[in-house]
Amino acid sequence: MKIRLGNGPDSWGVWFPQDPDQVPWDRFLTDVAGAGYRWIELGPYGYLPTDIAQLRGELASRDLRPVATFIEAPLEDPERAAEIEERVDKLGEWLSSFGGRFLNVIDDAYRDLRTGEAVAPPVVTEASWRQLVGTLDRLGRLVRDRYEVTLTVHPHVDTHIETTEQTERMLADTDTESVFVCLDTGHFAYRGGDPVGFYREHHDRIPYLHVKNVDPKVLETVNRQGLPLVEAVKRKVFCEPEAGLIDFADLRRALEDTGFDGYLMVEQDMYRPDHDAPLPIARRTREYLDGIGLGDT
């Protein structure tokens, strides 16, 4: 088993390229390095400097190595397909210039991530699903063939790929050589899934994981009240790995049993936190994961 442990802007409450309440990008980079991480996600394009030379210098000065970035897009919309492909092409080129490995794709949310307002039906039609998986296949081949980057689909709360059933169908309907999964343990458990069991069953398509836990008491309230993700995060539905319903020692055993050789990216989802809050959480999380054998190996 070979683990490379990292962290990303989401753990500092960064959801968007620009938001006046977000932690400034230089503070994030300094904090994440200060917490002892060496691998990072780059976050939404436009949060960190997009100039390649500038960003290389900022990363090198803190001994940070980028692993991934992400795009959120309406994969099921045929009228947006060309635009999405253009965005992914640009991101693939940008990411590969830093030696990044994974481009995470998240389907557009059916509830607005800022307000929680419903903006689309929660389930797509059959025709839209075929468009969605066809788009993933094209994007996966594009970044693989042009940039040697792996496309990883991130099952995400309040999107059209969020449940175990939807994720398994997506895997069954897409190209096994060009479309993979970024398994987010917290988002998967939020929608009732078993992330460890899912990893064991589909580990050959899961080269990359996001690590966080879920507070079962908060989740019960969220589900009972039908709250959107943004409100759930404000109520701290996602918690540190040591505290929630997922057994991370069990995850370590699964990774060992399957000979995992990849990246674990800590993502302690927050939304507009106090700017001093993320750093001590990131330190505690790294120390906990190190202690149970999920640190850098």
Residue 163 has pLDDT above 90, yes or no: yes
- Domain residue extents for the chain: 2-291
Q: What residue has token string 């960064």?
A: 14
Q: pLDDT tens, 44-84?
A: 999 999 999 999 999 999 999 999 999 999 999 999 999 99
Joined together, the tokens standing for residue 111 give 């509830």
Distances, alpha carbon 40 to alpha carbons 6, 84, 124, 219, 257, in Å: 5, 24, 33, 28, 26
Distances, alpha carbon 74 to alpha carbons 58, 67, 93, 124, 246, in Å: 32, 24, 21, 11, 30
pLDDT of residue 297: 81
227 φ, ψ to 5°? -75, 145
Contacts of 177 (CB under 8 A, 6+ apart): 144
Mean pLDDT (whole number) for 160-170:
98
Q: What pTM value is reported for the model?
A: 0.97
Q: pLDDT tens, 195-235?
A: 999 999 999 999 999 999 999 999 999 999 999 999 999 99
Q: What residue has token string 């496309």?
A: 151
Mean pLDDT (whole number) for 267-273:
92
Q: pLDDT tens, 34-50?
A: 999 999 999 999 999 99
Mean pLDDT (whole number) for 2-8:
97
CATH code 3.90.1170.40 for 2-291:
no
8 A C-beta contact, residue 260 and residue 1: yes
Q: pLDDT tens, 184-200?
A: 999 999 999 999 999 99
- What is the CB-side half-sphere exposure of residue 164 using CA atoms within 13 A? 14
Q: pLDDT tens, 84-134?
A: 999 999 999 999 999 999 999 999 999 998 899 999 999 999 999 999 999
d(CA 107, CA 251): 26
**Which residue type occupies 270?**
M
